[in-house]
Amino acid sequence: MNLKFVLANTLLASGLFVAAPMIHAETVTLGQTNVRATNVPQRGLNMSQVEKRFGAPEAKLPPAGGDTPLHPVINRWQYNGFTVYFEKNIVIHSVRDGA
């Protein structure tokens, strides 16, 4: 029984060495998605911190969600060039216009 186990593992390992040159990865870059935006609110800031650093938003959109505990209130503030998404009062995402 040990001979079968050793033989099977040997065949498996040799197959991996043969297949290894065929395995590769590619890096795909779309526009400037790999550049971290530093001039938009970062995740974790609260509403007062965002307003203090970036000023008052151009528009505060109506809240969405909040109908159940699984759907918390999502607030959206629009600035010139980006929109900030808050879960309750904490930034969860900032999106540049046209992204």
Q: Where are the domains of the chain?
A: 2-96
Residue 49 scores a pLDDT above 70: yes
Q: Give the whole-angstrom CA distance, residue 82 versus residue 99.
A: 9
**Could you give the C-alpha distances from 81 to 30, 40, 92, in angstroms and in order?**
19, 9, 17
Torsion of CA 27, 36, 58, 81, to 10 degrees: -50
Nearest by Cα to 93 from 44, 54, 35: 44
pLDDT for the residue numbered 34: 45
Give pLDDT, residue 27. 67
Global pTM? 0.61
- pLDDT value, residue 69: 86
